[in-house]
Amino acid sequence: MFDQLDFVYLPSRDVAADLKHFTRGLGAELVFAIEAFGTRVAMVRLTPDPPPLLFAGHLHGDQPVLVYRVGNLDRAVAELSDRHVDLGLRFEIPHGRGAEITNPGPQRVALYERTRPEADRRLAGRRDF
């Protein structure tokens, strides 16, 4: 069901400060830093291999969200439902739609279907802040 870990979303209280720390301090590569819909999101790569890190000003809580790509979100959701796994928040990211899985502990895992592969190219190098 899970194809690969594509992103790690990290809640951020100050996306610009986190971006500065990771790029200047830790040497991460900036992929994009966007400001839209009343929030800021920035993506960096610490390594050339996935997953990149996304700092998200709108993400609630303190736990990161591991976002896994699936080939078909509706099929994955149905399979999880058959296994009596509850889903939480449904969401949209630039790459497609997704759903967070409700877990018994503090761990956060989400699934998404990449329906807009052009998002990587469209966002690459964008710097709003």
Q: Is 0.85 topped by the overall pTM?
A: yes
61-120 pLDDT, tens digit per residue, is 999 999 999 999 999 999 999 999 999 999 999 999 999 999 999 999 999 999 999 999
Query: How far apart are the C-alpha atoms of 68 and 60, rounded to whole Å?
Result: 19
Domain locations in the chain as residue ranges = 4-123
Query: How far apart are the C-alpha atoms of 111 and 84, rounded to whole Å?
Result: 16
pLDDT-derived band at 1 (thresholds 50, 70, 90) equals confident
| Mean pLDDT, residues 9-29 taken together | 98
45-64: burial string, b at 16+ Cβ within 10 Å, e else: eeeeeebbbbbbbebeeeeb
Pick one of 2.60.40.420, 3.10.180.10, 3.90.1150.10, 3.10.20.340 as the CATH number of 4-123: 3.10.180.10
Q: What angle do CA 37, 13, 65 make, to 5 degrees?
A: 80
